[in-house]
Amino acid sequence: MTSLLLRRILGSRTSQTFSLANPSSNPNALTRDFSSLSNPIRATLFPGDGIGPEIADSVKQVFKEAEVPIEWEEHYVGDQIDPRTQSFLTWESLESIRRNRVGLKGPMATPIGKGHRSLNLTLRKELNLYANVRPCYSLPGYKTRYDDVNLITIRENTEGEYSGLEHQVVKGVVESLKIITRQASLRVAEYAFHYAKTHGRERVSAIHKANIMQKTDGLFLKCCREVAEKYPEIKYEEVVIDNCCMMLVKNPALFDVLVMPNLYGDIISDLCAGLIGGLGLTPSCNIGEGGIALAEAVHGSAPDIAGKNLANPTALILSAVTMLRHLELNDKADRIQNAILNTIAEGKYRTADLGGSSTTSDFTKAICDHL
Amino acid sequence: MATPIGKGHRSLNLTLRKELNLYANVRPCYSLPGYKTRYDDVNLITIRENTEGEYSGLEHQVVKGVVESLKIITRQASLRVAEYAFHYAKTHGRERVSAIHKANIMQKTDGLFLKCCREVAEKYPDIKYEEVVIDNCCMMLVKNPALFDVLVMPNLYGDIISDLCAGLIGGLGLTPSCNIGEGGIALAEAVHGSAPDIAGKNLANPTALLLSAVTMLRHLKLNDKADRIQNAILSTIAEGKYRTADLGGSSLTTDFTKSICDNL
């Protein structure tokens, strides 16, 4: 059994490097030992708050059942501000992700108050998480108005409209700066095309409003075009954001991979989550410099149902699947993803938010049975 | 209007907007019975601030490879569009106004916009007021557009949301639009393109322009006539006998128009 696993894992491993987010590194160097149950990959796990710990348990259970060679290193948000990070996240937690290079994060409620950075902002800045990747595909069996959604949104996550640089000019007049840099735009465009190539996607669409914001969005597009030339086998197109939204609600099958600056990415990625059923079902993964991947569930911590065994772990498990794909453990990723889709499609076990009445543990067990 | 390519002149739309001080773009979006889209229950109006915000056109290069764009929000423009939104809600019997924003991130700019909306909301206690973050708003719109009534937004969000809503009901070919200017000016317009490929062939769908004319009538408080014409258009489309090509039929513009007249 173990030798069969070893053979399958070796077979799925190509001579390509593990660092998908760093296409500039030597493609022939294997930067990570092959993984097996006896030599697992360490991954940081932040269960989070509210329903976080329960759904994190679901992930651990499913991974164990699927014999995924991952060893979790759990970290929790503290209740004291760590002066080294200026946040409730400790330095040790951040070092853990930097060392392991992969992590999974549950929903975190940022405590109200001043004098500290929000948890998400801390993670983003400290780990240089520059791209937010959300695969959106219609879940067979969970019917929404759209059956044929199959796209990925890749959002630049460090600059753009969210630079936080605002000031009052005179009383009653406020300005906000939107910053676009060549470096950040190239970086996210590189990731988008590399993602398209490694995941067998055919087309990358850059979303913009360059007819109005000629210099800023214009620079973003210029960078996308430069990268597009290096990937002649992948089609490249540019779509204006308002057209894009209209096309998405009329015919989302038109889109494949979308790459966008920060604000448009925020809007479009949530729009697409709405097309497939909401944030409770949407996986998400943040890519950082040096090949770091921090997958996360983007829904809230739902304190009202915390601890009641009612939460839907789908988003977190699917996010963990994106983490596996980043690690090129595609067999395991496919197995788990199919198990989830089959469970939802079957309809026998569904949590309350999907219109059913199963508990978290029943739903999780059904996924394990489907493996 | 097709803007001629070339330099040295302002675009036609920009000229109209600046010269007439058209500060609000109003688009009523409602599902057309008989023209089936994935949504049956859309009934909302988007009111978009049209003079400032992200579209101020103030961009510059800081150093090579770093570009900045200024988003401007002023109290004056925000109050003006908020006043119009609540006034519209009151005169058209709408119940709720939702301000769309991203003030959790853009605290000063969208914060000022919201502050102005709240001030105006206090003057209209009979109209419900709520604030919705733009990404939530988009998600809610694609899941359940019936949640919304009147939406008021700064320029960029308005551009995005108004086209999103047009997509919900079937596209720009069916969406009316009206621009409101200082001093009570109202310039209704069809927001679709000039479609040069079918020009002069009696194939075009006049719905968007007719419905825009209806919004002009409502602005003039000729509500009886507005209702008559709107119902005639809706009945014609609902009947399904006469439909232009873009609606999946094969009628000519003239037949479609005559059918609307018959339905008056």
d(C-alpha A214, C-alpha B25), whole Å: 22
- How far does A178 lie from chain B, in Å, by closest CA? 5
Asked if the model's pLDDT at residue A322 lies above 50, the reply is yes
Q: Span A239-256, mean pLDDT?
A: 94
The predicted structure's pLDDT at residue A16: 38
- CB atoms B68 and A216 under 8 Å: yes
Q: Which residues of B touch A167 (CB under 8 A)?
A: 108
- CB atoms A270 and B112 under 8 Å: no
The predicted structure's pLDDT at residue A35: 65
In chain B, residues 123-152 whose CB comes closer than 8 Å to chain A? 134-136, 138-143
- CB atoms B139 and A214 under 8 Å: no
d(C-alpha A245, C-alpha A242), whole Å: 5
- CB atoms A213 and B54 under 8 Å: yes
Sheet holding B22-30: strands in order across? B128-133, B96-101, B150-153, B43-49, B22-30, B176-181, B185-190
The predicted structure's pLDDT at residue B4: 65
- How far does B162 lie from chain A, in Å, by closest CA? 8
- CB atoms A213 and B59 under 8 Å: yes
Which among A171, A175, A249 has CB closest to B142?
Answer: A249
Dump strand ranges (E) for chain A.
41-46, 70-74, 102-105, 129-137, 150-156, 166-170, 173-181, 203-208, 235-240, 257-260, 285-288, 292-296
- CB atoms A174 and B74 under 8 Å: yes
- CB atoms A166 and B134 under 8 Å: no
- A193 beta partners: none
Residue of B nearest to A179 (CA): B68
Per-chain mean pLDDT for chain A: 87
The predicted structure's pLDDT at residue A13: 42
Higher pLDDT pick, A270 / A16: A270
pLDDT digits (tens, 9 = 90+) for A265-294: 999 999 999 999 988 899 999 999 988 999
Contact of B27 with B162, CB cutoff 8 Å: yes
- CB atoms B71 and A247 under 8 Å: no
Interface residue of A175, A220, A244 to substitute, partner B, most B CBs within 10 Å: A175
**ipTM of predicted assembly, 2 dp:** 0.90
Asked if the model's pLDDT at residue A337 lies above 50, the reply is yes
User: Which residues of chain B fall below pLDDT 50?
Assistant: none
Which among A144, A246, A279 has CB closest to B163?
Answer: A246
User: Hey, is the C-beta of A114 within 8 angstroms of any chain B C-beta?
Assistant: no
- Buried b vs exposed e over A262-287: b needs ≥16 C-beta within 10 Å? bbbbbbbbbbbbbbbbbbbbbbbbbb
Q: What are phi and psi of A146, to 5 degrees?
A: -120, 130
B106 is written with which tokens? 């853009």
Positions of B marked catalytic:
55, 102, 135, 159, 163
The predicted structure's pLDDT at residue A17: 37
Q: Which residues of B touch A174 (CB under 8 A)?
A: 72-74, 108-109, 111-112
Asked if the model's pLDDT at residue A11 lies above 80, the reply is no
Dump strand ranges (E) for B89-198.
96-101, 128-133, 150-153, 176-181, 185-190
pLDDT digits (tens, 9 = 90+) for A179-236: 999 999 999 999 999 999 999 999 999 999 998 899 999 999 999 999 999 999 999 9
d(C-alpha B258, C-alpha B145), whole Å: 33
Burial of A33 (0-12, 13-18, 19+ CB in 10 A): exposed
User: Hey, is the C-beta of A211 within 8 angstroms of any chain B C-beta?
Assistant: no
pTM of the model: 0.87
The predicted structure's pLDDT at residue A77: 83
Higher pLDDT pick, A6 / B3: B3
Q: Span A58-72, mean pLDDT?
A: 94
Task: Tell me the pairing of strands B176-181 and B22-30.
Answer: antiparallel
What distances in angstroms separate CA B143 from CA A30, A350, B35, B128, one per listed residue?
Answer: 45, 20, 19, 22
User: Hey, is the C-beta of A207 within 8 angstroms of any chain B C-beta?
Assistant: no
- CB atoms B160 and A245 under 8 Å: yes
B209 is written with which tokens? 């322009």
The predicted structure's pLDDT at residue B8: 59
CA angle B143, B149, B152 (to 5 degrees): 100
Q: What percent of chain A has pLDDT over 90?
A: 64
The predicted structure's pLDDT at residue B115: 96
Contact of B96 with B149, CB cutoff 8 Å: yes
Instruction: Give the Cβ contact number of residue B150 at 10 Å.
Output: 24
Q: Span A101-107, mean pLDDT?
A: 93
Q: Which residues of A touch B168 (CB under 8 A)?
A: 249
Residue of A nearest to B71 (CA): A176
H or E element: which one contains B47?
Answer: strand B43-49
Residue among B175, B164, B162 nearest B214 (CA): B175
- How far does B96 lie from chain A, in Å, by closest CA? 23
**pLDDT-derived band at A30, boundaries 50, 70, 90:** very low
Residue of B nearest to A167 (CA): B108
